[in-house]
Structure 1
Amino acid sequence: MKIIQLEYFIAVVDHNSFTKAADFLHISQPSLTATIKKMEERLGYDLFYRTTKQIQITEKGIQFYHYAINLVHTYSQTMEKMHDLNLSSTPKIKIAILESTSQWMSQVLSRHSKTHHNQRYMIAERHDMNQVVEDLLNFNYHFAISNEEIKHELISSIPLYRESYVLLTPKDTFNNKQSISIENLPLIVPNKGSQVRKHLEDYCTRIGIHPNIIVESDRFETALNYVHRGMGYAVLPRVYYQSYNARDLDAYEIRPKMSRHLYINYLMKRQYASNVQTLIDECLNYWDIS
């Protein structure tokens, strides 16, 4: 069975109509109908119930649909990777990072690119630890930066640096204070599910306070927009304070101290090309990790 046949079948299901699917695929309806019929004959069961007015997918058709979706998706990913290989003798280095690490990672990549001409990079933000582990195990990324240690027998998780969290506020909000408690303050924090939010909740539980959360946001950049608007104060990693979006804001140490470790993670069984290994070494050297 060919991929194009699966794509035809998926189109019929998605549009719930042979006519609309044929229009979408830019083929004739008789040709599409004949293709689906041949698929059913080869499979040995019906994919659709057909009446003069409508079609309905069968139970086996539903199961087949899920398999077809996965197969087409895998095929598309494979073709994309093969296309990457065709474009260059040095395929893209794929890296999963955190939003807060983009500042220093850009410096590392800039340095790396000067000695590895024509090297291309693909950077994606990943905050779900389970997804990061799965991506590394499936070879989707060469390495990943995380704010939690990955404890997996096939993954090497090396600490890069420790950083404190800070409270970002409009200028001169708390005058000359060096540190401040976040208790009762209006806070702008990441959405539930993020590691930073988990760190904040664990911290508040540990010191016995209940955070006064005013705004929840997916991205640090968005959180800072609300700080600039005077809606509250953002609890963010100190390294992110170096970013362009944190200009014109003050950073106060949180009392008692709240901090985290950052890790670089890669698959131990994977054979890395020299350009990838050099980039990993650049990350370690940036933080003086021998």
Structure 2
Amino acid sequence: MKIQQLEYFIAVVKYNSFTQAAKMIHISQPSLTATIKRMENDLGYELFIRTTKAIKITEKGIQFYHHAVKLVEEYHQTMEKMYDLNVSQSPKIKISILESMSRWVPIVIQKHNQQHPGQHYQILEILDHASIVNSLLNFDIHIGLTNEHVKHEDIDSVALYEEDYVLITPSDDFSDQESISIKDLPLILPNNEYQVRRHLDDYFQLMNVRPTIVLEVDRFEAATNFVHQRMGYAVIPRMYYQSFNTDGLNVIKIEPAIKRTIYMNTLKKRKHSGEVLSLIDYCKDYWNIGQ
């Protein structure tokens, strides 16, 4: 059975009409009807029940549809990857980063690209720990940057740097203070599903503090925007304070300190190209790892 036949079948399901599906995929209705009939003969069961007024997909047709959609998606993804190999001598390097890394990662990639002109990069933002692991194991990314150590026998997880969490405030609030306790302040924090929030919750629990949370957001960008509007104070990684979004805001050290470590994760069993290995070295060199 060919991919094109599966695409024809999916079109009939989508439009619930042989006539409309044939029109949209630019073939004649008799040809489409004959194709679906051949598929049913090959499978040994009906995909559709046809009447003079309508068609209805059968239960087996529904199950076949779900498999067909998955196969067609995988086919097109594979062809896209093969196309990448054709248009470039070096396939694209895929890197997963965190929002707070948007200042230093471009510097490293620019330096790498100067040594490897024409190299194509794809930057992704994957926040969930399990998704990072799966993306590495499934060869979907070459490098995964995380804010926690990945403990998996097939993954190298190397600590790059440690950074503080800091308090972001309007420039005229606490301007005379170098450090501050956040236990009684109105705080803007990440939503519960993020690792950063788990770091902060562990901190509050250790300090036996119940924080005053006025807002919960998905991104540091949103948090700092609300600080600009004086809705509260945001706890963010120090590295993110270098972003343009924090212009006009003040940074204060939190006491007691909250810290996190950033890790670079790669798949041990993957045969990385020279370009990928070079980029890994550039990341380590930027943070003086192994020197």
TM-score normalised over the length of structure 1: 0.94
Please name the residue that 1:227 is paired with.
Answer: 227
- Number of aligned residue pairs: 290
Quick one: structure 1 residues 12 and 239, their matched pair in 2 at CA, closer, same or farther if it must change by over 3 Å?
same
Alpha-carbon distance in 1 for matches of 2:53, 2:197:
52
Quick one: structure 1 residues 233 and 51, their matched pair in 2 at CA, closer, same or farther if it must change by over 3 Å?
farther
Please name the residue that 2:65 is paired with.
Answer: 65
Q: Alpha-carbon deviations, 1:220-242, whole Å to 9, x = none?
A: 22222121111122111110101
Quick one: structure 1 residues 22 and 223, their matched pair in 2 at CA, closer, same or farther if it must change by over 3 Å?
farther
Please name the residue that 2:215 is paired with.
Answer: 215
Is 1:111 aligned to residue 117 of structure 2? no
Please name the residue that 1:267 is paired with.
Answer: 267
Alpha-carbon distance in 1 for matches of 2:228, 2:239:
19
Alpha-carbon distance in 1 for matches of 2:179, 2:253:
4
| Local SS of the residue matching 1:153 | coil
| Local SS of the residue matching 1:183 | coil
Letter of the 1:125 counterpart? E
Please name the residue that 2:31 is paired with.
Answer: 31
Please name the residue that 1:180 is paired with.
Answer: 180
Alpha-carbon distance in 1 for matches of 2:204, 2:23:
57
Q: Alpha-carbon deviations, 1:195-249, whole Å to 9, x = none?
A: 1122122222222223333222222222221211111221111101011111111
Letter of the 2:193 counterpart? G
Please name the residue that 2:154 is paired with.
Answer: 154
| Contact kept in structure 1, 2:175 and 2:250, CA below 8 Å | no
Alpha-carbon distance in 1 for matches of 2:183, 2:18:
61
Alpha-carbon distance in 2 for matches of 1:140, 1:146:
16
Q: Alpha-carbon deviations, 1:130-184, whole Å to 9, x = none?
A: 1111111111111110011111100000001111111111112112112222224
Please name the residue that 1:288 is paired with.
Answer: 288
Quick one: structure 1 residues 138 and 207, their matched pair in 2 at CA, closer, same or farther if it must change by over 3 Å?
same
How far residue 258 of structure 1 moved from its aligned partner, in angstroms, is: 1.2
Quick one: structure 1 residues 271 and 172, their matched pair in 2 at CA, closer, same or farther if it must change by over 3 Å?
same
Q: Alpha-carbon deviations, 1:75-110, whole Å to 9, x = none?
A: 111111111111111111111111111211111011
Alpha-carbon distance in 1 for matches of 2:84, 2:34:
35
Letter of the 1:75 counterpart? Y
Alpha-carbon distance in 2 for matches of 1:188, 1:109:
32
Range 38-47 or range 173-182, more displaced: 173-182
Q: Which runs of 5+ in 2 are unaligned?
A: none
| Contact kept in structure 1, 2:185 and 2:212, CA below 8 Å | yes
Please name the residue that 2:245 is paired with.
Answer: 245
| Local SS of the residue matching 2:89 | coil
Alpha-carbon distance in 2 for matches of 1:112, 1:194:
30
Please name the residue that 1:139 is paired with.
Answer: 139
How far residue 269 of structure 1 moved from its aligned partner, in angstroms, is: 0.8
Please name the residue that 1:12 is paired with.
Answer: 12
Alpha-carbon distance in 2 for matches of 1:146, 1:60:
43
Q: Which runs of 5+ in 1 are unaligned?
A: none
| Local SS of the residue matching 2:52 | coil
Please name the residue that 2:54 is paired with.
Answer: 54
Letter of the 1:82 counterpart? M
Is 1:41 aligned to residue 41 of structure 2? yes
Alpha-carbon distance in 1 for matches of 2:285, 2:74:
36
Alpha-carbon distance in 2 for matches of 1:156, 1:286:
18
Moved over 4 A (4+): none
How far residue 58 of structure 1 moved from its aligned partner, in angstroms, is: 2.0
Please name the residue that 1:97 is paired with.
Answer: 97
TM-score normalised over the length of structure 2: 0.94
Please name the residue that 1:127 is paired with.
Answer: 127
Please name the residue that 2:87 is paired with.
Answer: 87
| Local SS of the residue matching 2:102 | helix
How far residue 5 of structure 1 moved from its aligned partner, in angstroms, is: 1.3
Range 190-199 or range 27-36, more displaced: 27-36
| Local SS of the residue matching 1:83 | helix
Please name the residue that 2:2 is paired with.
Answer: 2
| Local SS of the residue matching 2:123 | strand
